[in-house]
Amino acid sequence: MTQQVEFYFDYGSPASYLAWTQLPGLTARTGAAIVHRPMLLGGVFKATGNSSPISVPAKGAYMGRDLERCARHMGVPFRSNDAFPINTLGLMRGAVAAQRDEILEPYSTAVFEAIWTQNRDMGQPETIVAVLEAAGLDARGLMERTADPAIKDELKANTEQAVSRGVFGAPTFFVGGEMFWGQDRLDHVERALREGATG
Amino acid sequence: MTQQVEFYFDYGSPASYLAWTQLPGLTARTGAAIVHRPMLLGGVFKATGNSSPISVPAKGAYMGRDLERCARHMGVPFRSNDAFPINTLGLMRGAVAAQRDEILEPYSTAVFEAIWTQNRDMGQPETIVAVLEAAGLDARGLMERTADPAIKDELKANTEQAVSRGVFGAPTFFVGGEMFWGQDRLDHVERALREGATG
């Protein structure tokens, strides 16, 4: 049976971006399948009482430097985003719509890279459309569907399910019942896969 | 010139304990000298507005499991402490006294292991004395010196210096001017030493 790694993420989270860049390598080495779980990190923070590292100024200052070092060690492009923190509600609903259309992979590539390598302000609807169109996606169609109650409900359900499983930040991974938080725990995820954790 | 790694720590921090277990390996591999900087983590939290992960219940629940996994991967003993969080003011002042007497190494070994492998309640003065005596240290002499204003001031100065350098949690390392937070950034510390970071 193929092992699964559930990947809870929000495009507005730089650590989610860094983790996402490592998923192809993880699947190549382990054969595991990634199950993408778009969620609204703001909703998770609200439900758990957690908050962004930037709510503590000294931590926020450090996090930027730490993320740069992590990216350098991973060998992936990264730059901070001047519009951070971004309201990602539309983007995350778009992810649910893209997932239903089985175009989540190009959608995530376009959105993550626009925010975390190209410094685009993806809080602006016209920027979202431009970025998605440049990626060859039906930008207007996807954005229209973010108003679909079924799409809204699915994102909300994903977020609530995350919280009920103990998620408090992003990215969060599950291998069976084992939860792992942070792009810096992918080594633990990989180890759990090799040890055949089933939860 | 010997490279230095400054190690800001508090005995009450399980991540500080895990980092401390890795320092002999780090020095053996890199030749770097560790400069111990005892600080009061509670003072750092107060000054920076940061707080313990346990202040977010879901995060607190996860941290215990995460620390267990980190310890297992490091191959070091670890168990949670039933008295956590511990008021470490006396213990940290004791560290400053022990440092002046050049007995910080056996003192740290006794205190870290009592808390994070033996589940001792090191918030109790009689337990502190018993643990230090069992380690062959002059427990009462050390504890008396925790009332010395010069010792108190030095711990306070260490803590204030930490905050002024950007420290917001424990453990924190400096290689020259570069700051690294967490037992899970020792790989970054080692990399900085190899790259000859000088600040």
Confidence class for position A154, pLDDT limits 50, 70, 90: very high
Mean per-residue pLDDT, A170-174: 98
Q: Is B37 part of a structural domain of the chain?
A: yes
Catalytic residues of B: 13
Q: Could you tell me if A120 and A107 are in contact, meaning their C-beta atoms sit under 8 angstroms apart?
A: no
Mean pLDDT of chain A: 96
- Please name the residues in contact with A26: beta carbons below 8 A apart, sequence gap of 6 or more: A5, A32, A34, A186, A189, A190
Q: Report the distance separating Cα A108 and Cα B135, nearest Å.
A: 56
Cα angle at A166 between A160 and A170, to 5 degrees?
80
Structure ipTM over 0.90, yes or no: yes
Q: Report the distance separating Cα B12 and Cα B40, nearest Å.
A: 9
A66 touches B at CB < 8 Å = yes
Q: Could you tell me if A137 and A181 are in contact, meaning their C-beta atoms sit under 8 angstroms apart?
A: no
B56 touches A at CB < 8 Å = yes
Q: Is A137 part of a structural domain of the chain?
A: yes
A75 touches B at CB < 8 Å = no
Residue B1 CB-density burial (10 A; 0-12 exposed, 13-18 middle, 19+ buried): exposed
B184 touches A at CB < 8 Å = yes
Q: Is B199 part of a structural domain of the chain?
A: no
**How far apart are the CA of A84 and the nearest CA of chain B, in angstroms?**
20
Checking if the pLDDT of A159 tops 60, the result is yes
B4-9 and B172-175 beta bridge pairing: antiparallel
Residue A166 to residue B49, Cβ atoms within 8 A: no
User: Coil, strand, or helix at residue B49?
Assistant: coil
- Overall domain count for chain A: 1
Q: Is A199 part of a structural domain of the chain?
A: no
Residue of A nearest to B165 (CA): A58
For every one of its 199 residues, what pLDDT tens digit does chain B have, with 9 covering 90 and above? 799 999 999 999 999 999 999 999 999 999 999 999 999 999 999 999 999 888 899 999 999 999 999 999 999 999 999 999 999 999 999 999 999 999 999 999 999 999 999 999 999 999 999 999 999 999 999 999 999 999 999 999 999 999 999 999 999 999 999 999 999 999 999 999 999 854 4
B33-38 and B4-9 beta bridge pairing: parallel
Please state, in angstroms and as integers, the Cα–Cα distance from residue A36 to each residue in A33, A98, A122, A157, B65, following that order.
Answer: 10, 11, 21, 14, 23
- Compute the residue count for chain B: 199
pLDDT tens, position by position, A71-93:
999 999 999 999 999 999 999 99
pLDDT at B55: 87
**Orientation angle between helical segments A89-100 and A125-134, nearest 10 degrees:** 30
Q: Report the distance separating Cα A92 and Cα B191, nearest Å.
A: 36
pLDDT at B53: 87
Q: Report the distance separating Cα A51 and Cα A148, nearest Å.
A: 29
Q: Is A135 part of a structural domain of the chain?
A: yes
Q: Report the distance separating Cα A99 and Cα A117, nearest Å.
A: 23
Q: Report the distance separating Cα A146 and Cα A95, nearest Å.
A: 9
pLDDT at B197: 52
User: Coil, strand, or helix at residue A69?
Assistant: helix
Residues on chain B touching A164 (C-beta within 8 angstroms): none
Cα angle at A41 between A35 and A44, to 5 degrees?
100
Q: Quote the domain boundaries for residue B19.
A: 4-194
pLDDT at A197: 52
Give the CATH number of the domain where residue A61 resides: 3.40.30.10
Q: Which residues of B102-141 are buried (b: 16+ CB within 10 A; e: fewer)?
A: ebbeebbebbbbbbbbeebebbeeeebeebbeebebebee
pLDDT at B199: 43
Cα angle at A118 between A116 and A124, to 5 degrees?
85
Only one residue has tokens 């080495």, namely A29
Q: How many CB atoms lie within 10 A of CB A8?
A: 27
Pick B191's closest partner by Cβ from A48, A61, A73: A73
Q: In a mutagenesis test of the B interface, which of A45, A52, A56, A163 is the best target, namely the one with the most B β-carbons within 10 Å?
A: A56
pTM: 0.94
User: Coil, strand, or helix at residue B3?
Assistant: coil
pLDDT tens, position by position, A33-55:
999 999 999 999 999 999 988 88
Q: Report the distance separating Cα B115 and Cα B134, nearest Å.
A: 14
